[in-house]
Amino acid sequence: MRGDDRRGDAYPAFLPREAHDVLRRIAAGGPFDHRQDGSTFQNRENRLPKQPRGYYREYTVETPGSDDRGARRIVTGGDPPREYFYSDDHYRSFRRFDLAEGASR
């Protein structure tokens, strides 16, 4: 086991370590580092399944060395979240993922 990330195996291998903290914050309802976190993701390019406005929410995944929010995001669907998507290229593509039981706690 490494440090405080005892549940690291519960997260998909493709997610960067910084995403683990974001997922824990989502589960806890915050706090978040950026004012845009938790805002409605519009899905204007229709890269995610079509849903009513307000269904998707976006969250910043920190990019080490970046001076701004960077390109990495987690988008959730539902309230509470039932679907999870990760983008490392500022919404050009997404990978859907599931969380193992208890992963975000």
Is residue 83 part of the annotated active site? The answer reads: no
Name the residue among 47, 39, 44, 46 with its Cα closest to residue 69.
Answer: 39
Q: Which of 58, 62, 83, 101 is catalytic?
A: 58
Rounded to 5 degrees, what are φ and ψ at 72? -90, 135
Paired tokens of 79: 């309230």
Is residue 58 part of the annotated active site? The answer reads: yes
| Catalytically active residues, by annotation | 58, 90
